[in-house]
Amino acid sequence: MAPPLSPIPATPAPAPVAVGVGPVSFDEVVAVARHGAPVTLTDEALAAIDRARAVVEGLAAGPVPAYGISTGFGALATRHIPTEQRRQLQRSLVRSHAAGSGPEVEREVTRALMLLRLSTLATGRTGVRRQTARLLADLLAHGITPVVHEYGSLGCSGDLAPLSHCALALIGEGTVRDAAGTLMPAADALAAAGLEPVVLEEKEGLALINGTDGMLGMLVLAITDLRRLLRTADVAAAMSVEGQLGTDRVFAPELQAIRPHPGQAASAANLTAVLAGSGVVASHRGPDCNRVQDAYSLRCSPQVHGAARDTVEHAATVAGRELESAVDNPVVVVDEDGTGRVESNGNFHGAPVAYVLDFLAIVAADVASMSERRTDRFLDKARNHGLPPFLADDPGVDSGHMIAQYTQAAIVSELKRLAVPASVDSIPSSAMQEDHVSMGWSAARKLRRAVDGLTRVVAVEVLTAARALDLRAPLQPSPATGAVVRTLRDAGIAGPGPDRHLAPEIELAVALVDSGAVLDAVTTQIGDLA
């Protein structure tokens, strides 16, 4: 996960993302959130925004109360607000709902949230003015990031508090960080960028805060990370199978076809490809080998990793549908004859997103649990097939990787706690008007911690397996796993030897896994993995 205070990358300059009436893609979310890509609105989006705004202004001028336009909000929706107080109504909504607390969330989360809110505004379903939407795009383009806090969202009606902190910046209030990460008042950051704050009109405050954008942004980022991590977990598993003198025969495609889960087949194909050409595997492939079956953590890696992959792809399907959505309440509906109306709905409820966020936390915990078990087998003299205890240089004097496994175990234990679903909880709010909530933001926050934990557990397995493969010399690892070992050594992680300060090596391994360098080492040798 990116740290909260990391500056927007200055070079290379990413290509602008054009936001139109259609959905933004996963890659566009990542480009804006992580890499600081600027944002523009298409002419089509501006035209759709104008059409919806005309509907809102027509309703605002009429005598019939319309929710979000001329009434209060939530449990206060029964009060009709006169015209002269409606700017105050929208301003008060944003100020009162910007009630977050706790640590500042990561910059990439806030930028993803802002982009996805802008994407909904661009559909022409919310009724904001084009200058309001343009200012949100300008904040992204100038790297101005409002401060959003860890706590405050119930995931219904959407991510109200986080989005309100972003809306606060549009009216020149609250606190933001500029592109360099400097904390400052929003009014100062806008002035420095040559931008003018907006004065919110009817419906605009509500349109800016009533969406699932925070939890969805974190879901998209987590899916991106997990797709890379699960391929890296296949690499780590292959290194463990190899280093523990396991067999690759159980990964044969005809055996996977008997149970045709697509993720399982892909994971098994990866293991087979990564192990191809291994001198270590070849050394015990003959008739003299008396090993009948490997332990589950080795033999069943494709079944667990594959189920995880299939779950991630289900989550991606849900995220894709959500990216196509216009989440607001009420929404503007424009009929074929050009007339329009505003309709209340429940699309702001975060349940679809919250469920899959919880599913992915389960996935992260279980894949990490299996990775830790593979690591532990390397360290036990009774199970590591001829390697020294704890892979130590001088066992008894040296402890080797004994405590690296402790670190894994501590993380895995934490991941199991994070796997407890948030979406099954609900605390009623708004005087029982909002009497069932999704807790999707909470599910997303704990998933981010789970993804970070999985990264660290897999990194320790890679680190340990690389040491074991060195200890199998003169037997040669496969070209793919050998490339991973070289990547670690080139990064400054030394091979086997007397005990040394292990924490820096673990952090280097974590960085190599997180950056994709471990996966790249493999794909450079054998091509892309499934």
| Catalytic site positions | 67
The whole-angstrom separation of Cα 281 and Cα 182 is 54
For tokens 């291994």, the residue is: 278
Contact (Cβ atoms closer than 8 angstroms) between residue 330 and residue 52: no
Cα 289 to Cα 190, 274, 295, 476, distances in angstroms: 71, 22, 16, 18
Contact (Cβ atoms closer than 8 angstroms) between residue 354 and residue 55: no
| ω into 479 cis (within 30 of 0) | no
**Residues sharing a CB contact under 8 Å with residue 18, sequence separation 6 or more, in sequence order:** 39, 40, 41, 42
The whole-angstrom separation of Cα 410 and Cα 38 is 40
Other Cβ atoms less than 10 A from the Cβ of 306: the count is: 24
How crowded is the C-beta side of 182, counted as CA atoms within 13 Å?
9
Reported residue count of the chain is 530
Which residue pairs, CB below 8 angstroms and at least 24 apart, start in 382-391? 383/244, 383/295, 384/244, 384/468, 385/244, 385/245, 386/245, 387/243, 387/468, 387/471, 387/472, 388/471, 391/464, 391/467, 391/468, 391/471, 391/496
The whole-angstrom separation of Cα 298 and Cα 361 is 22
Q: Name the E strands within 121-257.
A: 145-146, 149-151, 175-177, 183-185
The whole-angstrom separation of Cα 351 and Cα 216 is 11
Other Cβ atoms less than 10 A from the Cβ of 181: the count is: 15
The whole-angstrom separation of Cα 514 and Cα 502 is 18
CA 393 to chain centre: 39
Q: Name the E strands within 94-228.
A: 101-104, 145-146, 149-151, 175-177, 183-185
Instruction: Please give the backbone phi and psi of residue 340, each rounded to the nearest 5 degrees, phi first.
Output: -140, 165
For helices 517-526 and 213-243, angle between their N-to-C axes, nearest 10 degrees: 60
